[in-house]
Structure 1
Amino acid sequence: MSDQALDGWRDAALRLLFDGLIPLLPIEVRRALYRRGGPDRVLAEQLHEACGGMVA
């Protein structure tokens, strides 16, 4: 997955969270965000907890 694609997933997830929704990102995307570290890792952890670990 390219950095641009991952940035798009991240930005879309943040927008949905801002709107009060819980985005369900594919597990591959959550894992890639986690591996990036920093704020992306925090986001990946928040998304994983928010969806109860559900895999899309």
Structure 2
Amino acid sequence: ELEHAFKFNDAVLRHLAIKMKKPVTTPSPMMKEEKAKSLTPAPAVEEKPVEQPAAATSE
């Protein structure tokens, strides 16, 4: 019964899941992809000419 009632503490599980022998100093694959996206220039957006307001007609 005690085995079924035992619950893991989230903080303990998190600590056990990320414990490593040495610190990881290289960028993650997600950050590499993010950096590559920011370094590539964004495609040029075609600008539409701004319409000039019609001249006021005096009636």
Q: Judging by fraction of residues, say which structure has more helix.
A: 1
Same fold (TM over 0.5): no
In the superposition, the TM-score normalised over structure 1's length comes to: 0.25
In the superposition, the TM-score normalised over structure 2's length comes to: 0.24
Rg (Cα) greater in structure: 2
Higher relative contact order (CA 8 A, sep 6+): 1
